[in-house]
Structure 1
Amino acid sequence: MISTKGKFCKELFEILTSEHSVNQFKLTIAPDEEITSKNHYYIDKSNDETRVEAICFKSTYVSIFMEAHNFLNPGYLSLIDSMYRLKNMPFFSVIQIYRTNIVTDFDKQYEVYVFTIGLLLTTTENKTNLNLHEEIFLKLLLKLEKTSSSSQIITFFENELRVVERLLSSSNNKLNKSSSLWYFYRKLYVLSQKIPLLSQRTDRDIIIKTHIYSASEHRSNYYCWNTARWFFYLFPPSSKEIFLKATEKFCFANTNDCSAWSALGYMVSNDVIEQKFTFENYKYIEGKYSETFPGTTSLIQSNFGIEMHSFSEKVAQFIDKLEVKEWPPFLCILKILHSIPEESLQSTSFVNRWKNELNSFEEKNRVD
């Protein structure tokens, strides 16, 4: 696409947006090796080329930060007039001056956009940079929508999605549990549904995989699973089924992940309050973009139709068979049982079985 001055930030962007077709892409931050004398990254592909791991060495990571930081602070030296005034200004002040001296040239805006990605990687929860990144991204998207072909718009938006998804599923725990970045992921989804050209290409399978990969990198990733619940309530039944199966598989392999098991409980119980909050939050985000991208999305409340009795029995059998001692699976069952009418609980066999076992234990051990 457009060339930029930043060698390291540009290379990062190219790596994060490459290999669109692979099933799994992982960005790993690792200590330097001898290979770094010639390469900034090491790309490891599986034999069938369905999985790719891009290893970013620590020296490269530092170089990305320095390059982006030096460009964005003390200021956009090539973009704003009278930049000598910014020499000792803090980053936030520079951003404010940038916004009052709006750069309209597409190439220069794109250059700023690429540098902000460098800071997305290296300065987690830098909300000033994230806000600037979003602002520039929206300006570029709006310009492309007015002046460019459909393929260019799609490529630009999908590249942005790949960047965010691959940062969220990276080995850097500060990134994959970043509340701000997960919320921005929601925003991108809402935006994609507002633009007909993009909504037709929504890949929900990648969204599901992003959550599972991120959760695999950081145990009890609250923000990951909280966002998973948000997406689940918005998905159509077919995608909900896939998401539920992926979550169930993850939970059964990670009995001590409380965030995952909690999310599973919410998915199965089809929590009405949670769904109402999700729809309200979606509409709130949509409203933020209404001036730039008009139009609204019709949200349909779809009942997934999973049988809560049988699913809770399934979890109970899993607990009994493996003699699970961790509490998260019990938390999941409790959430599901709270959604079952009290008069129907008697037909849930494991409840009676566990009660009988508990009574027997108390009698045997004379527990009052």
Structure 2
Amino acid sequence: MEKKLKVCVTGGAGYLASFLVNQLLQRGYTVHATLRNLGDESKVGLLKGFDHADTRLKLFEADIYNPDEFGYAVEGCEVVVHMATPLQHYNNNSQYKNTSEAAVGGVKSIVEGCLRSNTVKKIIYTASVVAASPLKDDGSGYKDSVDETCWTPLNLSYQYSNESLDGYAYSKTLAEKEVLSYNGRGIEVVTLGCGLVGGDTIQPSISESMAALISQAINDGLRYSVLRFLEELLAKVPIVHIQDVTEAHIFSMENSHVNGRFLCASAFTKSAEIASLIQKCEQNISIPQGFIEDTKRETRWGSRKLEDLGFQYKFDAEKIIEDSLLCAKRIGDLI
């Protein structure tokens, strides 16, 4: 059945966003999706290929580096899901000096556009657990648990880090704080700090997050360093299935009592435990010993805010790994 609610999804052809757009269309929603370039036939074709796209999907060209462009996309919408995030900095004619400034500037412009629209009631920001490190501010160790009170210290350096990973952690932390500052000021704000996402894709290749999640299986040292960066930043690695991430966004959208900051992960596991799960699911995979490092950390996952409001995760750690391996096989990244 067609639903009256109209939803804007920014960065519509991205890994998480394309999955969400597809689900929203299947459930009867009208969707405004933004793309950085409407001339990119592969991304436009992906979205236009969804069932009901011909009647309930409208595409808009908008770029975080020109955030005023998002105003047209949010007009007439009741909910905006802001998923677009700058991963690479563009110096040419840029008003921003780095991805952090671009992410924060984009959030400001999009929220202010929502306020001007007079129709948007709620904005849902797709945040990341990289903004919720349990590291103590002085770097002396980790807190006992990870929950929504944790914020990543921006004054520390992290093992396995590089300029790109640091920039991502900074931009997601600062942008989430910025969007939360608007909560209750004429609009409701939800932030969903998602763990490392795997399980499935509707894109032609596996995402960077899924590649990091199964990096030990595909013997990819670069992606494994991303996995270990997350483990150093967060004590362990929060993981979540893309179907649970999608359902969490729709749950937040459809329930007016969901408001504020939430972490979104169904398992909190060590990289060494991920290796064990890989080998349990695919016994013929041999993981090099250099890709198995047990940190012996015992930090706990302390977030239950989403579940306390009625949300239920459907996928545990083993199923997330199993589905990610099957997806990689289907695409051809794992033989």
Please indicate, yes or no, whether the TM-score normalized by the shorter chain is above 0.5: no
Larger Rg: 1
Higher helix fraction: Structure 1 or Structure 2? 1
Higher strand fraction: Structure 1 or Structure 2? 2
TM-score by length of 1: 0.31
Task: Return the structure number with greater relative CO, CA threshold 8 A, min gap 6.
Answer: 2
